[in-house]
Amino acid sequence: MLTELFTPSVQHALDLVGIFVFAISGALLAVRKNFDVFGIAVLAEVTALGGGLFRDVMIGAIPPAAFTDLGYFITPLFAAGLVFFLHPHVERIQVGVNVFDAAGLGLFCVTGTVKAYEYGLGLTSSAALGLATAVGGGVLRDVLANEVPSLLRWDRDLYAVPAIVGATTVVLCIRFDTLNAVTSGLAVIAAFVLRLLALRFHWRAPRAYNRSSARAEEGSAAT
């Protein structure tokens, strides 16, 4: 089914673009954390490939694509090298990085969902692995950097929700036999646009109903 949506060359090129941008975000966090060159490379690789590796292991696509295609492995290293030498300039174009990151999020939640379904998973499980493909690398990045994953923080703009929307759109299209290049592209765009809107207007997921203030939380923790 995946090969019917995009030609192999187009799919490969899109994958590499998404991997590159995710790797940039990982490498930038490593620089902010004052990691050495090895740490920068590790965070770049983990951020770029972590979600896809998790998906492939879960569905039994062994060995994972990250280890069978040299381009998948080399691209994050290239991004790490770029950030290592030019991180002040990369930081200055953070808005552009965010735009491409949103595009990668939309692409990976769609292709991850489709690949999981191709390997025999049900619709719900496929959507869950589509989400994991899109956000898994970022979670691993934050854990390695000793931070609460952005995915779980209420004070960060919506990230998982756009991926959920994209993955859900795909499984609905599969359910009603309407998945094709156009509808899959629309699913990518839906996730992409929702993420950009969240960045622009600082949309965030709601916390628990009648939640007390952060200051109250800190006070109760201290006691």
CB atoms within 10 A of CB 45: 27
- Burial of residue 112 (number of CB atoms within 10 Å: 0-12, 13-18, 19+): buried
Tell me what pLDDT residue 4 has.
Answer: 54
Specify if 215 maps to a domain: no
A 10 A CB-CB count for 186 gives 16
Asked if residue 82 is part of any domain, the answer here is yes
pLDDT, residue 6, reads: 63
How many angstroms from the chain centroid is the CA of residue 132?
8
What pLDDT, on the 0 to 100 scale, is given for residue 82?
94
Q: Is residue 105 part of a domain?
A: yes
Q: How confident is the model at residue 163, as a pLDDT?
A: 96
213 found inside a domain:
no
The reported pTM is: 0.87
pLDDT at res. 112: 93
Residue 214: CB atoms within 10 A of its CB come to 11
Whether 178 is covered by a domain: the verdict is: yes
Number of domains in the chain: 1
**Do residues 84 and 40 touch, judged by C-beta distance below 8 A?**
yes
Q: 217 in a domain, yes or no?
A: no
Helix H or strand E segment including 145: none
Can you give the residue range of the structural domain that contains 25?
Answer: 2-206
Angle, alpha carbons 14-203-80 (nearest 5°): 40
Residue 211 in domain: no
pLDDT of residue 222: 43
- The pLDDT assigned to 1 comes to 47
pLDDT in tens, the chain (223 residues): 444 566 777 778 888 988 998 999 999 999 999 999 999 999 999 999 999 999 999 999 999 988 999 999 999 999 999 999 998 888 787 788 888 889 889 999 999 999 999 999 999 999 999 999 999 999 999 999 999 998 888 889 999 999 999 999 999 999 999 999 899 999 999 999 999 999 999 999 888 887 765 544 444 444 4
Q: Give the Cα separation of 50 and 68 in Å (integer).
A: 15
Residue 77 domain-assigned (yes or no)? yes
Note the pLDDT of residue 207. Answer: 84
